[in-house]
A = this chain, B = another copy of it.
Amino acid sequence: MTKPKNDTLLKALLRQPTEYTPVWLMRQAGRYLPEYNRTRARAGDFLSLCKNPDFATEVSMQPLARYPLDAVILFSDILTIPDAMGLGLYFIEGEGPKFERPLREEGEIRSLTIPDPAVHLSYVMNAVSQIRKTLNNQVPLIGFSGSPFTLACYMVEGCGGTDFRQIKTMLYQRPDLLHHILNINTQSVIAYLNAQIESGAQAVMIFDTWGGMLSHSAYQQFSLHYMSQIFAELKSEHDGERIPSIIFTKGGGLWLENIADSGCDAIGLDWTINISEARRRIGHKVALQGNLDPAVLFAAPKIITTEVEKVLVDYGNGDGHVFNLGHGISQFTPPDSALTLVEAVHSLSRKYH
């Protein structure tokens, strides 16, 4: 029996009845928490924090000690796969991730190989097992990966936050090369997420952080197509339980109908779409996760509560809603604001179920 005592999140992702709307926060284990910063200081740097299962477990569990959340998410980096491919991931404080050897030459691209999760990413699997054990079935554990396209952005650009000139030049000029990278990434993500599921992840999420930078047709061909392949190959059950899957393309609101056909169980929404419109467009097919503007958490408690209620009203009556922010929580969020949010979701959502 591996069902968590609080399985509200898993039920909501599968659009089954729940008593209230479950809530977790993207990037909930992060720099806005002083206890996270203390652990990180002990670890030395960000990569050491990710690669040590004891530290990863400690920070994954921290938000649950503070807030009555309905899920814990694996603490890890989005770029573990290209790091395992040997691209040389490193971090400069305040600048985000970079690769020592970004992909530029065809020869390098053709010689990319799929990392074996048991060998090259065992630290992630150890963290998943250890978090599951520490969680002791209180709430479910969510595993995750970057999307094939989002990984490719970092692999080709060499860093994030760019104008995407390198990857878009490849997309238009050498689509065959980009498709080759995306095929390797897709096989890598499938193996990675299935290994996380075998190690104990009870739901999985794909973060497509940069898919929204693509044109409508390029999104279908270069991002969504590969995520659909992943959903087709993921273990949908493990240990007798369904493993729900969540897809999140930031800026993907225009493409919801296509995203809903990808084979996912739930769609993460950013804050630019009204969740009632999203539900009207695709809510009969999949669950919806989201979608409060993270900047609301800079305001006073009364305003946070009002804005939380607006999202609940917009979603309306019925199941299939997981409350979340529309993007990762900001490092500048006062920790008490997150508590206000979680408590507001729990107390205000009961009347809709």
Contact = CB atoms under 8 A, between A and B. Distances in A.
Interface of A: 163-165, 168-169, 171-173, 212, 214-219, 251, 253-254, 271-274, 277, 293, 295-296, 298-300, 303, 307, 310, 326, 330, 332
20 contacts: A164-B295, A165-B295, A165-B298, A168-B295, A169-B295, A169-B299, A172-B296, A172-B299, A173-B298, A212-B272, A214-B272, A215-B271, A216-B271, A216-B273, A216-B277, A217-B310, A218-B293, A251-B251, A253-B253, A254-B272
How many copies make up the complex?
Answer: 2
A69 to B, nearest CB: 23
A32 to B, nearest CB: 12
B168 A217 contact: no
Nearest to A171: B295
Contacts of A254: 253-254, 272-273, 277
Nearest to A253: B254
B172 A274 contact: no
Given A163-B330, A254-B254, A172 B214 contact: no
Contacts of A332: 165
A28 to B, nearest CB: 18
Most buried by B among A163, A254, A295, A310: A295
Given A164-B295, A165-B298, A216-B277, 18 more contacts: A163-B330, A169-B299, A172-B293, A172-B295, A172-B296, A172-B299, A172-B307, A173-B303, A215-B271, A215-B293, A216-B273, A216-B274, A217-B274, A251-B272, A253-B253, A253-B254, A254-B254, A254-B277
A171 B296 CA distance: 9
